[in-house]
Structure 1
């Protein structure tokens, strides 16, 4: 596969049609609920702006990000749909966010106070989603603190300083659909909404479902779902199912071009600390990607790549900028393509294969692909008035 990048060394090729297909499948799964495509962390490493536009093409009507800077970048790119940013520390530039009509999250009184101060500064009512901790024990107000957070939000709403646009929470075990916490969190979330309404709040959207819950827990959809990893065609976990089970198609293919090949004798130690030693005369192939580009150092002697039609395990230690593959007696040359991972259509490893080999999740594999690796986007289109 030739990328659309001008860099022949390496490229993360992202098929935007795959993003559209996956988002269309998620929108269909969401039923009557609206769909927020989560494009944080540069679109999980796939390119935030291009993927945001592709998601909107396919029927998403909201965009979700973690931090304000990401939300402001979406606005600067001309995207006018609702954008929700949920992670902030005290002192962040919330006035810029309020002025840009970005929905913000509040889990504690300090957040409400800073959002209200920002709203007063810019002379605009701020849209806020208050978050309940229903069991993840990360962000969100605890059961004990929730009533007071709702009351504080109601008071600011009465002043027309904020508009509580949403009530939300997040799952701990949605990628294990049979886990008892899933049902328990849905119940706690419903109770939290009831308490909010008793204080006089009338949220426009209630949202709890991540990728896994969007796919397999329809009773968690409420008014809005927030798929993340599945937007990019990956399953949120093996217990949920494979991408093909849900009409998802992995969007990213990470490729490189060999920088060097050479014959070495049996008994040759390879890369730092000689953690791989050749057992026969063989051809070594140098791949110009390393842990500075997001290839985990732990992938040495563990993860596989596709080279010359065969899967081959990385030979020895992954270095900062490069790693080595043992090509045996196959004819390989500098400039030949090596595929680290992709959708698997040509027999290459998938991001899930890498995750399984390294004992992690596919989210980490795709999001850690570094900025030094250019993104090439296939099948761009026009959405929101601007090209991908």
Structure 2
């Protein structure tokens, strides 16, 4: 199913308030905290996270001299250092990955539905076949957007109040969700958003939980979210 999807259909919402609370808690325990913003802040936006860190009394660090040059040229109000081992160890905590408040929420609009019959194969190599007649949802997030191929046939994405199985292999531009319900009961395409990871308190998998379910590290998961996914900072 080849569909063009607008950039706005893919979104990574970055909660700067959550990042601020996490950094503030770290600084309250130790005044000498360096926030590691390597790799564009592990996908969260290095400049914005860096500014929040400085406002909360933390230092900012990266792992590459060129990254440091870009950030200082962009106007950070303090020198950017090189991340030491402790800054790297704390990185999962300034981004809410297994500790504190979740910072990134990754979602996409459901663009289409497809009914498949029992036994029909889905995606490359037909590694998943429908156990019964079912409906699939087309979600425009694929491995080019950072959705790990390890999520194929095992990852679960939140949609309409339930965690839905990724059916078949994750493709470059999309993945499919098994809804297991009649097509007639679905809202129009484009009206629902599937949540890959977000806030655990809302029923979604957190980025930490999503990473564990697919055998990846949390920082890898957020860092992989690509540039086609629109960042929205709030």
Q: TM-score, normalised by structure 2?
A: 0.90
Is contact 1:253–1:343 with CA below 8 Å preserved after alignment?
yes
Contact 2:128 2:168 in 1 (8 A): yes
| Displacement of 1:345 | 2.4
How far apart, in 1, do the equivalents of 2:209 and 2:55 lie? 30
Conservation of the 8 A alpha-carbon contact between 1:261 and 1:332: no
Against the structure 1 CA distance between its residues 258 and 46, is the aligned structure 2 distance closer, same or farther, given a 3 Å change threshold? same
Is residue 7–residue 228 contact of structure 2 (8 Å, CA) maintained in 1? no
Displacement after TM superposition at 1:346 (Å): 1.4
| Long gaps (5+) in structure 1 | 1-5, 87-168, 171-208, 213-226, 236-242, 379-388
Instruction: Give 2:178's match in structure 1, choosing from 322, 326, 338.
Output: 326
Is 1:231 paired with 2:94? yes
| 8 Å Cα contact 1:21-1:58 kept in structure 2 | no
Query: For 2:44, what is the secondary structure of its paired residue?
Result: coil
Does 2:193 correspond to 1:337?
A: yes
1:328-367 equivalences in 2 (<5 Å): 328-329=180-181, 331-335=186-190, 336-367=192-223
Q: Which residue of 2 aligns with 1:313?
A: 165
Greater Rg, structure 1 or structure 2?
1
Flag as ranges the 4+ runs of structure 1 deviating above 2 A.
Answer: 209-212, 330-333
Q: Which moved more, 1:17-26 or 1:271-280?
A: 271-280
Superposed displacement of residue 376, structure 1: 0.6
Task: Check the 8 A contact 2:35/2:87 in 1, yes or no.
Answer: no
Matches within 5 A, 1:126-145: none
CA displacement at 1:332 relative to structure 2: 4.3
Q: 1:68 aligned to 2:65?
A: yes
In the TM superposition, residue 355 of structure 1 has moved relative to its aligned partner by 1.6
User: Is 1:372 paired with 2:228?
Assistant: yes
User: What is the aligned length?
Assistant: 225
Higher relative contact order (CA 8 A, sep 6+): 2
Query: Structure 1 length normalisation: TM-score?
Result: 0.56
Q: Name the residue aligned to 1:12.
A: 12
SS of residue in 2 equivalent to 1:17: helix
Partner Cα separation in structure 1 for residue 188 and residue 129 of structure 2 = 21
3-state SS of the aligned residue for 2:106? strand
SS of aligned partner of 1:315: coil
CA contact (8 A) 2:147 2:170 kept: yes
Query: Aligned match of 1:50 in 21, 38, 48?
Result: 48
1:288 equivalent to 2:146? Answer no
Q: Is the 8 A contact 1:10 1:255 kept in 2?
A: yes
Q: Does 1:39 align with 2:43?
A: no
Aligned position for 1:91: none
- Give SS of 1:311's match: strand
